[in-house]
A and B are shown apart, each in its own frame.
Chain A
Amino acid sequence: MKGQRLVLILLSSLLVGCAVDVKPWQRDQLAEQKMQLVTDPMEQSFDEHIYFSKEAASGGKGVGGGGCGCN
């Protein structure tokens, strides 16, 4: 079940991807700092530590970052 869900999401994102063509010179807005998927890495690192120490779920955004006891 879970596997299927993943494949579906992946497929739909690729399908949408094929339909567009954004030329390099049209990517000015996408290149702005505020459009980065992680706009503020420091804030994210703070938040991830808080949530890691309070919730069972973690990760998802990337690899690495370091472990902690976080009780």
Chain B
Amino acid sequence: MGSLTVEQQAGYWVGRFKAMASPCEVLMEASNRSDAVALAQSAYDEVKRIEQKFSRYRDDNIIYKINTSQGRAVEVDDEMANLLDYADHCYQLSEGRFDITSGLLRQAWKFDGSANLPPMELIERLKSSISWKKVDWQRPYITLPSGMEIDLGGIGKEYAVDTSINLLKQKTAASLLINFGGDLAVTAPRKSGGGWCVAVDSPDRVGSSTGQEIELKQGALATSGDAQRYLLKEGVRYSHILDPTTGWPVVDAPRSVTVFAASCTEAGILASLSMMHGSGAEAFLNEQQIKSWVVR
């Protein structure tokens, strides 16, 4: 695994690697290099495990097995079952806006900043194969009607952050920050009593700071929104957030929403759900009393 690097910074160690198509980093207040390498390696192994198990780009995992089951029941293990239970709850709670069968819509929508809207017929055709309601989920058996697909991409990265954090917490009491492509979590306050400083990226200039710095002692942050992924037609900016109930992107969604929550998965779901509210995103976040940063 040559892709993992560990280096020392002022007062902490940082491990870097690429996983889930994102740059990942683990910041550790480890006492020596070998501890830091071991911890970073564990996080790397865990995120790879989740990537292999739940990626929809592979043909050797449970997602592939379910997506090619042709309407037959597939038995899943406890971890997958927990994720499906979770997806089911999110579907119910979001009144269908969070739907792990909605990935098919990507066939129609290419978010390249252009003005190319997909043909209506294509969206309508895809929509007939989208609805978690049509899936028979009776733990531990899932029966997916043929033609439909599930995709855990909407929660996979955040989930990996949380499982990695839980894993590393069992190995060390030292303060850690895990950051997988902007979704991150912190285990405990640092030795100094302070937290880790995190800058919220401006969606227009990736990598540069908006000037908003957050000191994170505990908990997690997740961001929904992406500067490069939108369509612009007749002055309407179509975000890459698709509403499965309409098959169309959400109009007037913020450029990005960053949410603070106890876990990264929760923060991620809240950020996505708030985007779904379009122009009402801020109102939703206020109503739910969610600590968040919105960029318009």
Residues of A within 8 A of B (CB): 23-25
Contact = CB atoms under 8 A, between A and B. Distances in A.
Nearest to B136: A24
A3 B136 CA distance: 38
Interface stretch (B9-17, B87-95, B127-135, B218-226): B127-135
Contacts, number: 12
B278 interface: no
Q: Nearest 3 A-B pairs (CB), nearest first? A: A24-B136, A25-B134, A25-B133
Contacts of A24: 134, 136, 143
B131 to A, nearest CB: 7
A25 B145 CA distance: 10
12 contacts: A23-B134, A23-B136, A23-B145, A24-B134, A24-B136, A24-B143, A25-B131, A25-B133, A25-B134, A25-B135, A25-B136, A25-B145
Contacts of B143: 24
Where chain B touches its partner, the secondary structure class is: mixed
Contacts of A23: 134, 136, 145
B136 to A, nearest CB: 4
Nearest to A24: B136
Interface in B129-166: 131, 133-136, 143, 145
Given A25-B134, A25-B135, 10 more contacts: A23-B134, A23-B136, A23-B145, A24-B134, A24-B136, A24-B143, A25-B131, A25-B133, A25-B136, A25-B145
A25 B148 CA distance: 13
Contacts of B136: 23-25
Contacts of A25: 131, 133-136, 145
Nearest to A28: B133
A24 B144 CA distance: 11
A4 to B, nearest CB: 38
A24 B136 CA distance: 6
B88 to A, nearest CB: 13
Contacts of B133: 25
Contacts of B131: 25
Contacts of B145: 23, 25
Interface in B179-203: none
A9 B143 CA distance: 32
Nearest to B138: A24
A60 to B, nearest CB: 30
Nearest to A26: B134
A23 B136 CA distance: 9
